[in-house]
Amino acid sequence: MIDSFIKVSAACPKTKVADIDFNLINIEKCIDAALNESSKFIVFPELSITSYTCSDLFHQQILIEKAYIALESLCHFSENKDILIALGAPLLENYSLYNCAYIIFNGKILGIVPKSFLPNYSEFYEKRWFTEGIGMVDKTIDLYFQKEIPFGTDLIFKAGKFKVGIEICEDLWVTIPPSSYLSLSGANVIGNLSASNETVSKADYRKALVSNQSARCISSYVYSSAGVSESSTDLLFSGHLLIAENGSIRYENERFQRENDVITTIIDLDKLDNERSKNISFRDNTKLCPYKTRFINFHFNDVNIGEFNVEIDKHPFVPSNKAERDYRCKEIFNIQSSALAKRFEHTGLKKAVIGISGGLDSTLALLVIIKTFDLLNIPRKNIITVTMPGFGTTDRTYTNAISLCKNLSTDLREINIVNACLQHFKDIGHPVDKHDVTYENVQARERTQILMDIANKEGGLLVGTGDLSELALGWCTYNGDHMSMYSVNCSIPKTLVKYLVKYVADKEADKVTSETLIDILNTPISPELLPKDKEGNIAQKTEDLVGPYELHDFFLYYFMRHGAKKEKILYLSKIAFKGVYSDETISKWLDKFIKRFFMQQFKRSALPDGPKVGSVSLSPRGDWRMPSDASFNSWI
């Protein structure tokens, strides 16, 4: 399982222009620093062995010869060092000078990749010295210290799941970067050796390029640019280092460092490969590759990543940054309300019906209906809110339900279900004091029947309240709260439901409504289907029965989003929740999650419509088509 993770580094060594001995010393220091972090791949800037800004000195024989000597020395230095090195240096071949990346491992140059596209505009005039590498495939070259070295833009360096493609600076800025073809041919990590000078706001654009290319290629992207010591004449370089993974910047350095700078982070190869396998467009795009790729195989002696020094977010569905979280909450409300508005416009209905329990999910659904009706200019009195006290309803949830509905000016109705349930127990011959699943489901189905019938009577739309986490666990009564005419929360996980309600409490609600919402947030999650305790408090707490929702949402994210195996989910869970839950507790609830997820698929196969909000959805009509009778044995 651990071999799905690998540490990679981007480095910017301190250099002196054309001082190859000085540059080599600092390159070696950076390699040692990366090795101390258990890194397996390090990318240096473009032409870092000579420095990028040598200009016409590139035509001097001594510079090229000393670069070769330094490369030979670096090969010796790399012996018995378990790290792949991508280093920038010139190559003179058949009277043509190429700007190249030398890929070195354990005493040997595995391959040489020339720069495909040479900038020759504005401050750049590389064609004065170098020859383009476009179309350079299926070739080898000889150096005085190593013969028949693979040479070309068609190289991918492979060690098990780790497959590296290389491009150089301008290659990323063109319409179709070489990394696009390399990724389609199998490379899941792209290294870019760059010398991108700094101007105002260029760093933001560069960062966007790296992030977007990693997303298009569904890859990791390791970018290293020349540093301030390269600066000469009219150009200033900042030493920008970036490591991206499938559209997200995983690590970025502080630019303008004046000493050696190395950044290292962990990337997840299995996650990238899983994303590619699910993306049919990526697969179809492979037909457009213009050439056959050469794989250069090598082998790491040890794939141990050392300390797992990357923070794993406990709540992957919830942005940790408050500003981003608020923006996301606003966006989600817009998606939910716009989708519900479309359903009302299509059906021509002017009334909504919803059961209000005083719990989180029904509260969120009501807030969505309120926003929708305001959007459509439909009076809030057309929102029929029904509270249905039963055997387990507490004063706290009842009071919150009443307060919320009244303050939001809805048509509040109260229907006590106790007598109806007692009659039903009598009809089916079920003892009243037998508090089993039948006892609970009778109440859930009675409530749904009432809501459905009111919707029919009033000509309204019954809006469901169940969330994504409950659907994953099957924590709903089949043909009870499982059913509605439209389900607005169906792709909102429980951990996110809390933040959505809090967002309204903090940003949009009046004082009284906000106080009610805050108390709802602080109320234990419960279906309230079992009798209250002696003090009148909630006796049936959901998380005591099925486990903490923050754990289940974490499991769901990695199970669905990444297709991760149990061992990997458990490994990441123990890192994320260290000090919060014991290893035994995490393992127990992970087994529970997997079993319930498989056993409860039949409920998800019969879900009502509802809007897809995030990257994970369990709709049987879209993201998740699973047989209802699949066995969980292989997963456990």
Tokens of 441: 């489901």
Tokens of 506: 């903090």
User: Does 526 show up as a binding residue in the annotation?
Assistant: no
499 carries a ligand binding annotation: no
Cross-sheet strand order for the sheet of 220-225: 248-252, 241-245, 220-225, 189-194, 162-168, 155-159, 294-297
46 is catalytic: yes
356 marked ligand binding residue: yes
Cross-strand bridge partners of residue 99 = 90
Q: What is the C-alpha separation between 195 and 523, in angstroms, rounded?
A: 56
441 is in an annotated binding site: yes
Active-site residue, from 66, 115, 498, 502: 115
- Phi then psi dihedrals of residue 416, to 5 deg: -75, 130
Tell me: is residue 68 an annotated ligand-binding position: no
Phi, psi of 229 (to 5 degrees): -70, -10
Q: Give the residue from 388, 380, 436 showing the smallest Cα distance to 408.
A: 380
Report whether 183 contacts 193 (CB < 8 A).
no
3-state secondary structure 452-468: HHHHHHHCEEEEECCCH
Q: Is 361 annotated as a binding residue?
A: yes
- Could you confirm whether 100 is annotated as catalytic? no
Which residue is catalytic, options 37, 46, 198, 440?
46
- Strand ordering across the sheet containing 351-355: 411-414, 383-387, 351-355, 460-464, 486-487
CB-count exposure of residue 458 (10 Å: 0-12, 13-18, 19+)? middle
The encoded tokens of residue 124 equal: 């750049």
CA distance 540 to 526: 6
Euclidean distance between CA atoms 421 and 409, whole angstroms: 30
Of 169, 217, 421, 490, the catalytic one is 169
> From the DSSP assignment, how many helices (H) and strands (E) are in the chain?
19, 20
Question: What DSSP line would sit under 3-65, residue for residue?
Answer: GGEEEEEEEE----TT-HHHHHHHHHHHHHHHHHTT-SEEE--TTTTT-GGGGGGGG-HHHHH
Closest CA to 332 of 614, 623, 622: 614
Is 360 within any annotated ligand binding site? yes
By the 10 Å C-beta count (0-12 exposed, 13-18 middle, 19+ buried), 610 is classed as: buried
Residue 520 labeled ligand binder: no
Residue 561 token pair: 């989003």
Q: φ, ψ for residue 36 (rounded to 5)?
A: -65, -20
Task: For residue 483, give the 3-state DSSP assignment.
Answer: coil
Which residues is 47 bridged to in the sheet?
none
Task: Give the span between the Cα atoms of 411 and 450, in whole angstroms.
Answer: 16
- Does 406 carry a binding-site annotation? no
Q: What CA–CA distance (Å, rounded) separates 208 from 552? A: 33
Contacts of 1 (CB under 8 A, 6+ apart): 565, 567, 568, 571
Does the annotation mark 169 as catalytic?
yes
User: Is 307 among the annotated ligand-binding positions?
Assistant: no
Q: Within a 13 Å sphere around the CA of 549, how many CA atoms are in the beta-carbon half?
A: 23
**Start-to-end CA span in the chain (Å):** 15
- Consult the annotation and say whether 196 binds a ligand: yes
359 is in an annotated binding site: yes
The Cα 53–Cα 554 span in angstroms is: 49
Task: Give phi and psi for 597, each to the nearest 5.
Answer: -60, -45
Sign of the C-alpha dihedral, residues 65, 70, 76, 78?
A: negative
Instruction: Output the six-digit token pair for 436.
Output: 């089993």
b/e per residue, 49-78, with b = 16+ CB within 10 A?
bbbbbbeeebeeeebbebbbebbeebbebb
Q: Is 214 annotated as a binding residue?
A: no
Q: What is the identity of the amino acid at 484?
A: S
Beta-carbon contacts of 545 under 8 Å, excluding residues fewer than 6 positions away, are: none
CA-nearest of 426, 394, 404 to 539 is 394
User: Which residues define the annotated binding site?
Assistant: 121, 196, 202, 355-362, 441, 465, 470, 475-478, 603
User: Which residues define the annotated binding site for ATP?
Assistant: 355-362, 465
Please list the active-site residues: 46, 115, 169
User: Which residues define the annotated binding site for L-glutamine?
Assistant: 121, 196, 202
User: Which residues define the annotated binding site for deamido-NAD(+)?
Assistant: 441, 470, 475-478, 603
